[in-house]
C-alpha cells in the first residue's frame, strides 16, 4: 500500500479527518465552558491505590525506574502482570488477590505510566525496549523465568517479550490482543479491523489526542469503561471510586503523552520484521468476544499460525476489558493453564 510517513494513505486520511473533527469539538467545548472543559482538576491519591497493597520500585539497566505492586510469598514462583492502555497496575486487582497465595504476584506500571519513569522521546517506547523491561524486571527480581500475563498493549509487550526472550517465559497468557504479526496482517487485509483501529491512526497526531482524553474531566475514560458499546458488561466491577483512581493516574504530568507514545512509536519506528516469528513458549489466549476494538480473527490467527503451542478460549459476551469484566472466568482459565 502507498504510504505517507509510515501510514497507508487511507489511514493517514482517517487521522486527518478525525483530528479535524476532534479539534472542532474541543474548540466548541472550550468556548461553551469558558475554557474549563480543557482544565485538569487537581486530585489526591485515591485510597484504592494505597490500602492493602505493597508498592515497590526497581531500577532497570535501561535507567527506567519501574513501579510495581507486589503480593504473595517472595520465594514463590513469579507471575508478572502487564497492563494496557489506558490502564495501569490496578487493572489487575482481581488477579492480584486471586493468585497471591501461590505466586509472587507483581503488577507493574509500564514505562510511561503511573509512578514509573516517563522517557521523553517517542523512540523510547519501542516494543523491543518494552519487552526488555519485562526481561530485566524478571532477572532483577532474582528469577530466571516467570508466568507473564498481558492485556491490550501489555499483551503486545508480552508477545514481544516471549518472541525475543523465550527463555524467561515459563508460561504466556495473552488477553485480547493478537500476535504482532497477526495484527499487522489484519490491518492490511481486514476492513473491519481497519475501521475499528481509527483511534490508532488518530493517535499519530501530536497533542490533540491527549487533550481529547483529558477534556471534560476525562469524560472519555468514563465512556470507555462504562459505555454500553465499549464498556464492561458487568458494570459493578468498575466503580466510581475505581474511576477516580484512573483519573488520578492519568492526570499526572506526562502520563497521557507517554502512554499515547506507544502508538506513535509503533508507526514512526516500525519493527514489524523483528516479530514475524512464531511464539515458542506455551501460550494461553483468552478473548472476550464482545471486544469493540479487535476482531475475533486476530485470536484465531494468532493461535493457529503464530504460536508453536497455544490454547484459545473465547469468553462469550465479555468486553475488551476481560480481566476486570469477567475476573472469575479469566482466573479459572489461568489456574488450569499454569
Tell me the DSSP string of 168-186: GEEEEEEES---HHHHHHH
Is pLDDT at 3 greater than 70 in this prediction?
A: no
Question: How far apart, in whole angstroms, are the C-alpha atoms of residue 308 and residue 296?
Answer: 20
pLDDT of residue 7: 64
Choosing from 68, 90, 262, 263, the catalytic residue is 263
Among residues 107, 321, 136, 154, the alpha carbon closest in space to that of 224 is found at 321
Instruction: Specify the pTM.
Output: 0.95
Tell me the DSSP string of 242-294: HHHHHHHHHTSTTHHHHHHHHHHHHHHS--GGGG-S-B-S-EEEEEETT-SSS
Q: Which residues contact 301 (CB under 8 A, 6 or more apart)?
A: 178, 179, 182, 185, 186
Q: Residues 322-336: what's their mean pLDDT?
A: 98
Distance of CA 54 to the CA centre of its chain: 22
Q: Is the peptide bond before 86 cis (omega within 30 degrees of 0)?
A: yes
Choosing from 98, 161, 320, 333, the catalytic residue is 320
Is pLDDT at 295 greater than 60 in this prediction?
A: yes
Choosing from 152, 161, 179, 325, the catalytic residue is 152
Q: Label the pairing between strands 169-175 and 310-315.
A: unpaired
Does 320 participate in catalysis according to the annotation? yes
- Per-residue pLDDT tens digits for 70-107: 999 999 999 999 999 999 999 999 999 999 999 999 99
- Per-residue pLDDT tens digits for 176-207: 999 999 999 999 999 999 999 999 999 999 99
Amino acid at each position: 500500500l502507498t504510504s505517507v510517513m509510515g501510514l497507508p494513505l487511507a489511514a493517514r486520511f482517517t487521522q486527518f479527518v478525525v483530528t479535524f473533527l476532534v479539534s472542532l469539538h474541543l474548540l466548541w467545548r472550550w468556548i461553551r465552558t469558558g475554557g474549563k472543559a480543557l482544565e485538569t482538576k487537581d486530585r489526591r491519591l485515591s485510597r484504592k491505590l494505597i490500602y492493602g497493597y505493597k508498592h515497590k520500585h526497581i531500577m532497570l539497566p535501561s535507567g527506567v525506574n519501574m513501579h510495581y505492586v507486589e503480593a504473595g510469598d517472595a520465594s514463590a514462583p513469579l507471575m508478572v502482570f502487564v497492563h494496557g492502555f489506558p490502564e495501569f497496575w490496578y487493572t489487575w486487582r482481581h488477579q492480584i488477590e486471586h493468585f497471591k497465595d501461590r505466586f509472587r504476584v507483581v503488577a507493574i506500571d509500564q514505562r510511561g505510566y503511573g509512578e514509573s519513569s516517563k522517557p521523553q522521546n517517542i523512540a523510547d517506547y519501542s516494543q523491543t525496549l518494552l519487552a526488555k523491561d519485562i526481561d530485566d524486571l524478571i532477572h532483577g527480581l532474582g528469577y530466571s523465568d516467570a508466568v507473564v500475563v498481558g492485556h491490550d498493549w501489555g499483551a503486545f509487550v508480552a508477545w514481544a517479550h516471549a518472541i525475543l526472550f523465550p527463555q524467561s517465559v515459563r508460561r504466556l497468557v495473552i488477553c485480547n490482543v493478537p500476535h504482532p504479526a497477526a495484527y499487522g496482517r489484519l490491518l492490511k487485509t481486514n476492513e473491519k479491523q481497519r475501521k475499528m483501529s481509527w483511534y490508532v491512526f488518530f493517535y499519530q497526531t501530536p497533542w490533540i489526542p491527549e487533550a481529547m482524553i483529558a477534556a471534560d474531566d476525562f469524560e472519555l475514560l468514563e465512556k470507555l469503561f462504562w459505555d454500553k458499546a465499549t464498556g464492561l458488561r458487568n458494570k459493578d466491577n468498575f466503580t466510581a471510586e475505581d474511576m477516580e483512581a484512573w483519573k488520578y493516574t492519568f492526570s499526572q504530568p506526562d502520563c497521557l503523552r507517554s502512554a499515547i507514545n506507544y502508538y506513535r512509536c509503533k508507526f514512526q519506528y516500525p519493527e514489524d520484521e523483528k516479530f514475524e516469528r512464531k511464539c515458542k513458549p506455551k501460550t494461553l489466549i483468552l478473548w472476550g468476544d464482545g471486544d469493540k476494538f479487535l476482531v475475533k480473527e486476530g485470536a484465531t490467527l494468532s493461535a493457529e499460525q503464530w504460536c508453536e503451542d497455544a490454547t484459545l478460549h473465547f469468553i462469550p459476551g465479555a468486553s475488551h476489558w476481560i480481566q476486570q469484566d469477567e475476573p472469575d472466568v479469566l482466573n479459572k482459565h489461568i489456574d488450569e493453564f499454569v
